[in-house]
Amino acid sequence: MPAYLDNAATTPMRPEAVDAMLPYLRERFGNPSGSHAVSREARKALDEARDVVAECLGAGPGEVVFTGSGTEADNLAVLGVHAVRPGAVVCSAVEHHAVLHACHVVGGRLAPVRSDGLVDLDALAELVDPDVSVVAVMLANNEVGTIQPLAEVAAVVHDRAPHAAIMSDAVQAFPWLDVADLAGPADLVAVSAHKFGGPKGVGALVVRRGTTVGPMIHGGGQERDRRSGTYNVAGIVAMAAAMRATVAERQATVARVAALRDRLADGLLAAVPGALETGARATKVAGNCHLTLDGIEAEALLVLLDAAGVYASAGSACTSGAVEPSHVLDAMGVPRGRGLGALRLSLGTETTDADVDLALEAVPAAVARLRQD
């Protein structure tokens, strides 16, 4: 059996989510914006899903905006606030490209992180002034898994720019952390269904009361004019089902997966000479195992791992044939040579002991082979 260790890229759908969505792809196909019985059935499902999503995110139903992805939720947060409240935008240097590039569009400033991947609060304070309209700091990082101290970030921001909105990308955090609680200090919170057992192409943005976003997508005025477009009812219903199941099982999942991750990380650190773990484990989500390996090209390693049935990722972008070091590792000050040898093994709810055993066998063997060549 191969080992799927790329859950930060996407997760298999939970059976609860598949079961929940199927009727809305078949007989309950209505458009919730209509008024007849078929529409009303879809509207009821949409309203119920909204209640579940709101509760799982610690928000009110009116504060949830459904989107077509995590990327869209991130863009709506940054650009939507900026559209109604123009001003400087600040984001952490380790944000996902969905935030980073949106900030770039409006000339954003980058807040540096320390070598452990956590945002440098003193440097952040220097960048935030009353002119700032949005500060974006993610809850958990997609490459190295570090969890940002959002309450401390909020304290810094509120002190210096009382009117700035705080935006937090919780896309990678949701499977592992109590987002309803930890993202409390944020005015805008983005999630994506396919990272926690829901389908691809559906996400949500919490926009807390008192925060206004201008629409990025114009049309029929759905989502109280914040996001037009006919509702993806099946996707939204499935996202709600996946959220409910994730939250119900989260504590037990985290304990189980953290133990697997620790065995994997400790085993690889012992078996692969020169391997270094990225970030402090105590400040990382349970599913993340990220290593840098000296003298190895990640792309070559991934090819060997793929052949051995271990599905992982490099965490660095491959553009036009050239492997670029990741902006996250760069921001953490990881030397370029090491950054090019990054390996992200991301565990999920379905990861087993056998998956870890296979990775513990395949990774040291592949590294040894590459070092021989």
Residues annotated as catalytic (active site), given as ranges: 318
62-121 positions binding ligand PLP, by CB under 6 A: 69-71, 74, 96, 98
Q: How far is the CB of 147 from ligand PLP (least distance, A)?
A: 12
Enumerate residues 261-280 that contact ligand PLP by CB under 6 A: none
Q: What share of the chain is helix, strand, coil (3-state, %, to 5)?
A: 45, 15, 40
Nearest to 232 by CA among 59, 61, 19, 21: 21
Q: Of all residues in this chain, which one has the CB nearest to ligand PLP in the complex? A: 70
Hey, which residues between 131 and 170 contact ligand PLP (CB under 6 A)?
Answer: 138, 142, 169
Cα-Cα-Cα-Cα dihedral sign, residues 192, 330, 187, 33: negative
User: The tokens of 5 are what?
Assistant: 């260790």
- Residue count, binding to ligand PLP (CB under 6 A): 13
Residue list 200-229, contact with ligand PLP (CB under 6 A): 203
| Whether 70 contacts 195, CB under 8 Å | yes
Between the alpha carbon of residue 1 and those of residues 16, 206, 304, 318, 359, the distances in Å are 24, 39, 16, 28, 12
Residue number, 317 or 368, with CB nearest to ligand PLP: 317
Beta strands in the chain (DSSP E): 3-4, 64-67, 88-92, 109-111, 132-136, 165-169, 188-192, 203-207, 275-277, 288-293, 310-311, 318-319, 322-323, 342-346
Q: What is the nearest approach in angstroms of ligand PLP to the Cβ of residue 8?
A: 6
The position carrying tokens 């807390």 is: 208
Q: Give the nearer residue to ligand PLP in terms of CB position, either 267 or 348.
A: 348
Report in angstroms how near the CB of residue 52 gets to ligand PLP at its nearest: 19
The smaller minimum CB distance to ligand PLP, of residues 104 and 263, is found at 104
Is-contact 361 2, C-beta < 8 A? no
To the nearest whole angstrom, how small is the minimum distance from the Cβ of residue 137 to ligand PLP? 12
Q: Does 187 contact ligand PLP by CB under 6 A?
A: no
CB of residue 2 to ligand PLP, shortest distance in Å: 21
Among 54, 111, 135, 171, binds ligand PLP (CB under 6 A): 171
Q: Take residue 105 and report the two structure tokens written for it.
A: 């569009």
Residues lying near ligand PLP in the complex (CB under 6 A) are found at 69-71, 74, 96, 98, 138, 142, 169, 171-172, 192, 203
